[in-house]
Amino acid sequence: MAQQDIGFVGVGRMGARMVARLIKAGYPLTIYDTNKAAMAPLVEMGAKTADSPAAVASAVEIVVVSLPTPPIVQSVALGPSGIVEGKRAKIFIDVSTTGATVAKMVAEGLAVKGIVAVDAPVSGGITGAEKGTLAVMVSCPEKILPTVKPILEVLGKLFIVGTQPGQGQTMKLLNNLLSASAMAITSEALAMGVKAGLDPSLIIDVFNAGTARNSATQDKMKQHVISRSFSYGFGLALLNKDIRLCMAEADALGVPMIVGSAVRQLLSISTATEGADADMTDLAKTVEAWAGVQIGQKSGA
């Protein structure tokens, strides 16, 4: 049976890999990105291109977006030449990290044109996007789920977290809060251990064998900090944005975030010092600078 046509807006590092998986799964794709070069490899795989989000939404009934910031999501969905101006779209799936406030605003704006918004933010990084092992946090009306489920299952494992706009986004912010906190505190612990004369790889082995195990000790420190590659694939500035969104949502809900606020401050400082293109694992460099120590291999080692 032929697969339903899908539109996809935003084919950056994550989006391109998701589009590739959908094409391989047999879905016809119509794509758009402001970066034409990013679309070229996907066109070679069989994707068609459109010249605006509105054009994508005029070509298909289901549009997926993977975009870097909430304002861009809002503009692509509701702005001039946005999805809201499309002639065919009925379902809007946002796999970005947008935050509940903007997600609700987008859902309300699209509903006026009869388009149903689906929260589907993802976690798992570039590797997860390539392998189809992302955690996909879905919130949508129950009647829509049978339509979007087969599409999203190509991308990873689905977690149905709610039915209201913004609930999937809240789940993603909680995930990234813990991920950022793990990266921050593990960097501090490693810096302290190395300065005390301990071997960083051994420190990580002990952590992973005991109660200190976390996402940073398992997936980031040896591979990207101790090795000095700093190439996990998720931007420090994006993580900083996500934690700011989380803190704003926590404040709106009246939930204290004492530890989270400290992590936000460290991320803000690290983003300013390490630069706009820094990887999230570059956060360790800020801690190293303050501690006067380097974790892992020396340059050229």
- Burial of 2 from C-beta contacts in 10 A (0-12 / 13-18 / 19+): exposed
Do the beta carbons of residue 187 and residue 225 sit within 8 Å? Answer: yes
DSSP 198-245: --HHHHHHHHHHSTT--HHHHHTIIIIIITS----SSBHHHHHHHHHH
Is residue 104 annotated as a catalytic residue, yes or no?
no
Residue 192: how many other CB atoms lie within 10 Å:
14
20 Cβ contact list (under 8 Å, min separation 6): 42, 45, 130
Partners of 118 in the β-ladder:
93
Distance CA 270, CA 237 (A): 9
How far, in Å, are 16, 103, 193 from residue 282 at the CA level? Answer: 24, 29, 18
- Tokens representing 179 are 């991920």
Residues 6+ apart with CB under 8 A from 156: 122, 124, 128, 132, 133, 134, 135, 136
Task: Report the distance separating Cα 239 and Cα 26, nearest Å.
Answer: 33
End-to-end CA distance of the chain: 55
Catalytic residue among 24, 157, 172, 298: 172
122 forms beta bridges with: 136
Catalytic residues: 172
